[in-house]
Structure 1
Amino acid sequence: MSAKILAIDTATEMCSVALMVGDEIFSRNEIAPRDHTKKILPMVDEVLKEAGVSLSELDALAYGRGPGSFTGVRIGIGIAQGLALGADLPMIGISTLAAMAQGAYRRHGVEHVACAIDARMSEVYWGQYQRQQDGSWITVDDECVIPPSDLVAHLRHDNNTWAQVGTGWDAYQVEMAEVKLERTTTDVLYPESRDIVFLAKFELENGNTVPVEESSPVYLRDNVTWKKLPGRE
């Protein structure tokens, strides 16, 4: 399948856009924590012009659905919805944590990845991923927001070596040092849209798209609060 997919992500300090056209990927990345709204649309224009395609020619629009900065996630999904609505495109939400796992594989060839993004408030956004033979990823346990000190009890011991990615490892060095995983360090700190668009291709091939009005962010912290309400499951 020769897919044309645009992906954008502003969920972290990284402002990122990528366009997949068949086997080619055109991308732009810049660490710009306060300038996402200024930079993201010019980046979109640049990759579309470089590839010589228009929004209306695309098959889908993918976005980093979170977790990440509340403001950043909202900016990304809002811009993605506007672009998709104007071009009548289906949307695909991709986990920013899973995108970082793909980024670690792309750079270092690792197939077991432990992601920790600094979530502020003495917590991290956490997820563990294992690569499959077809290039997709499975979540080893559910993504969550958790204090680093609680990860020791949360994790199950295994014999794999996990590549660590994300800003959480450095933000909470003392607490994360207690995490009992065999692990290696990497230079992957943020999700990039070139990895989001790669994962979105699998979703498109499997028909896992949603209309603009059904696209939604994933904050994780809201989910934790919701579960604590009396009478909710």
Structure 2
Amino acid sequence: MSWILAVETSTEWCSVALGRAATDGALECFSRHEHTGARSSARVLPAVAEVLAEAGITLADCAAIAFGAGPGSFTGLRTACGVAQGLAFGADLPVIPINVLTMCAESVRSGTSPWPADTRVLVALDARMDETYAATFRWDAAAMEWSMETPVQVGPPETVAQPDGAFWLAGNGSTVFGERLQVAAQASRVMPEAMPDARAAVAIGLRALARGETIDAADAMPIYVRDKVAHTIVEREAIAAEKAEKAAKAANAAAGEAA
């Protein structure tokens, strides 16, 4: 019953989990999942120490270290990758990079039993810069793993494609973008609370470990799906001006109706 340590900091949450498969097949897990904003880098190592102490083991007792490889925040991905690499080098452990969107799909499945056959999970996460990260997943019962039916894409929420057949929508895209994420209206279920979580990374990592799908720490890399990671100052000013103009128009319209 191998232990896996998982680190996930691709969003504003610092998520750390330590888990293994129990004798009854359930997941035994110790975790910290905290909204830290930009402070994940300061919180992640103390959280690792806490879950190891709670389980009563050391890092050397683990079989591998999993990390949220992306897509996500540029700084957050580098934090998770760097922490995983550093810990793995120190303990001579392999690492398991995990797609962040797959974690969202896994979080949905872990809370649903039995899993409805042929149901897809469309994950749509806020990618900042007025865009979403999106991909569609299907649970392959024979392989006991997620199959990615569409590649990860980044773009305006209006461009997120609707999957074929019945699907559930996971991730905070529906909350952040509202009606602009038009596919939400067609989803059988909408679960904005299904976000990247290290506990889901443990479950995915244990299956990957059983298949021998680990890599050397030196080969660990974040997954980036766009080259541009932030708006320029000019772009931010233009966006602010556009928002101010819209707000002014709305206020003038409201004043006209009141008159």
TM-score normalised to the size of structure 2? Answer: 0.79
Tell me what 1:31 maps to: 35
CA distance in 1, matches of 2:60, 2:169: 38
Structure 1 CA distance for aligned equivalents of residues 134 and 12 of structure 2: 17
Report the Cα offset of residue 182 of structure 1: 3.4
TM-score normalised according to structure 1 size: 0.87
Which residue in the other structure is 1:11 paired with?
10
> Cα 1:178–1:45, aligned 2, differ >3 Å: closer, same or farther?
closer
Q: 178-187 or 58-67, which moves further after superposition?
A: 178-187
| Match in the other structure for 1:227 | none
The answer on 1:207 being equivalent to 2:216 is no
TM-fit CA distance, 1:49: 0.8
User: How many Å separate the matches in 1 of 2:128 and 2:210?
Assistant: 36
Residue aligning to 2:152: 143
Structure 2 counterpart of 1:168, one-letter code? G
Q: Name whichever of 166-175 and 212-221 sits farther off.
A: 166-175
Q: Which runs of 5+ in 2 are unaligned?
A: 23-27, 229-259
- Cα deviations by residue, 1:28-86 (Å, 9 ceiling, x for unpaired): 11011121012111111111111111111211000000111111111111111111111
C-alpha distance in 2, partners of 1:139/1:178?
Answer: 18
The Cα of 1:178 is off from its aligned counterpart by: 5.0
Hey, what's the Cα distance between the residues in 2 that align with 1:105 and 1:65? Answer: 20
Question: What 5-or-longer segments of structure 1 have no aligned partner?
Answer: 224-233
State how far apart, in whole Å, the 1-side matches of 2:165 and 2:134 are: 19
Cα contact 2:108–2:194 (8 A) shared by 1: no
Q: CA deviation at 1:3?
A: 1.7
Quote the residue 1:174 is aligned against.
179
The code of the aligned residue for 1:141 comes to T
Q: Tell me which residue corresponds to 1:60.
A: 64
Counterpart in 2 of 1:21? 20
Q: 1:166 to 1:178 in 2, by over 3 A?
A: closer
CA displacement at 1:187 relative to structure 2: 4.5
Partner of 2:90: 86
Matches within 5 A, 1:60-209: 60-109=64-113, 111-133=119-141, 135-151=144-160, 154-156=161-163, 158-160=164-166, 162-177=167-182, 181-209=186-214
What is the alpha-carbon distance in structure 1 between the residues aligned to residue 110 and residue 81 of structure 2? 25
> Does the 8 A contact of 2:17 with 2:32 survive in 1?
yes
Count of residues paired in the alignment: 218
Distance (Å, rounded) in 2 between the aligned partners of 1:100 and 1:179: 16
Q: Could you tell me how far apart the structure 2 residues matched to 1:172 and 1:33 are?
A: 20
The reply on whether 1:217 has 2:219 as its aligned counterpart is no
